[in-house]
Amino acid sequence: MSGTGEDSTKRLGIKASGHPMDPRTQELVAHFQQAYGSAPERAVRAPGRVNLIGEHTDYNHGFCLPMAIERDVRIVLRRRPGRSVRVTSVQQPGVVEFSLDARPIPKATAKDQRWADYVKGCAQVLRDEAGIELVGCDLAVTGDVPLGSGLSSSAALEVATIHALLAAASVGMEGERIAQFGQRAENAYVGTNCGILDQLSSACGVLGQAMLMDCRTLQLTPAPLPAGVAVVIADTGKRRGLVDSAYNERRAQCEAGAKSLGVSHLRDVTLHGLRTAVASGKLPAAAARRCEHVIAENGRTQAAFACLRAGDAEALGQLMDQSHDDLRQKFEVTCAELDDMVAIARALPGCLGSRMTGAGFGGCTVSLVREPQVAAFVTALTAGYRAAHPAMTPAVYVTKAAAGAGTLAL
Ligand code: ADP
Ligand code: MG
């Protein structure tokens, strides 16, 4: 893919096919050219995700019901001689460079370069754990998944990075393994103890479908969303820092709960089993409330999948409502902003269910809304939330289920 003819075609934002490139890719190509002085050879993308139900279940080997969203991280790349990788992002300042021969690859020392640790972590994991012979390359990143709002911009960045590094090295890999290496990069290198939900949704999303995800077997079973309803995501504008948040504490509480109950993961406990254990004093009441959410949520998520199969949007909405109420009262990972956004949504015409989505403590809600009411819902939800929280800037996204990560035509 070299030659001045093609390079000038790219500068003009025209694909080799003769169709114009979409504006985001065009901007990214221009950013690449400005940073490195040449045109990129390849492009990849990986979407963010929204979880319809099944929250804080992934690390308990349970069930989730995510879908990939129509917002993504894109990377354009070009191989370069030598053993270093350079990376730049439209959303962040500067160019970060690291050597593929450094063991370990050093993490950022400057705060404004920390975003590139997701990229370095992927390179290190692919090299050391997957045994891939990586090659030097230049990367430019752009994303329209909002950063830090629970729609998994980090997983989208990791999955896109792995696709980009593999493309440069001309190596293929299955989506499921890509997701696992992305998760490893985030766990072991960046230091966030996330489950597999985010990366697997991004790597293996199915166009037009939500997916029942079994986080023990990693099996994905797609099912289309009910006809006539839309998925509406509302960002509260309240940012959470997952690394510093109570996420790791909740996770430890679940692990301790499973241990007291004599199982490796809460997936293996029934509500009846939990109640018996509490009655016999095996588990303190506070720990039991955390476990109860996870165990009930696994049941709700499987029930929600049955609703998708049956096309029963109303019952699905009710399960979403119950999920939020448990996350608020028993798991205690909501906040005033999330609770208010949900309460405002539920009171609006056409809303079948609404809940927080993602790890909590801020970030987004997801609502199921009848299609004819969507436009009015978006306007009223934004106005209602603004009135309740004048200091916050909400954002609302209506999205269909997008395809999982892959290559993008240049
Ligand atoms: P979430 O995954 O919910 O969006 P995280 O805190 O897990 O929130 O990850 C957000 C981080 O991912 C950002 O702070 C940044 O470091 C990195 N990131 C995501 N998208 C991009 C991007 N387009 N360019 C640079 N860094 C990004
Ligand atoms: Mg994340």
Topology of domain 6-216+403-407 in CATH is Ribosomal Protein S5; domain 2 (3.30.230)
Per the CB < 8 A criterion, the answer to whether 19 and 404 are in contact is no
The set of protein residues with a Cβ atom below 6 angstroms from ligand 1 is 73, 89, 91-92, 114-115, 118, 141-143, 147-154, 157, 242
Per the CB < 8 A criterion, the answer to whether 60 and 294 are in contact is yes
Q: What is the pLDDT of residue 195?
A: 87
> pTM value?
0.93
* Ligand 1 atom 2 nearest Cα: 152
Q: What is the pLDDT of residues 181-192, one digit of tens each?
A: 999 999 999 998
Per the CB < 8 A criterion, the answer to whether 38 and 25 are in contact is no
Amino acid identity, residue 401?
A
Is residue 7 very low, low, confident or very high in pLDDT (cuts 50, 70, 90)?
very low
Spacing, Cα 372 to ligand 2 middle (Å): 32
Spacing, Cα 154 to ligand 2 middle (Å): 4
Q: What is the dihedral of CA 142, 144, 147, 151, to 10 degrees?
A: -130
> What span, in angstroms and rounded, lies between the C-alpha atoms of 196 and 16?
36
Per the CB < 8 A criterion, the answer to whether 63 and 301 are in contact is yes
Residue carrying the six token digits 């990367």: 139
List C-alpha distances in Å: 161 to 88, 166, 182: 12, 8, 9
Per the CB < 8 A criterion, the answer to whether 28 and 90 are in contact is yes
Least confident of 174-178, 205-209, 217-221, 276-280: 276-280
Q: What is the pLDDT of residues 374-410, one digit of tens each?
A: 999 999 999 999 999 999 999 999 999 999 999 999 9
Q: What is the pLDDT of residue 248?
A: 83
Q: What is the pLDDT of residue 1?
A: 36
49 forms beta bridges with 68
Q: What is the pLDDT of residue 284?
A: 85
Please give the positions annotated as active site.
Answer: 198
Mean pLDDT score across all residues of the chain: 93
How close are the terminal C-alpha atoms of the chain, in Å? 10
Per the CB < 8 A criterion, the answer to whether 67 and 210 are in contact is yes
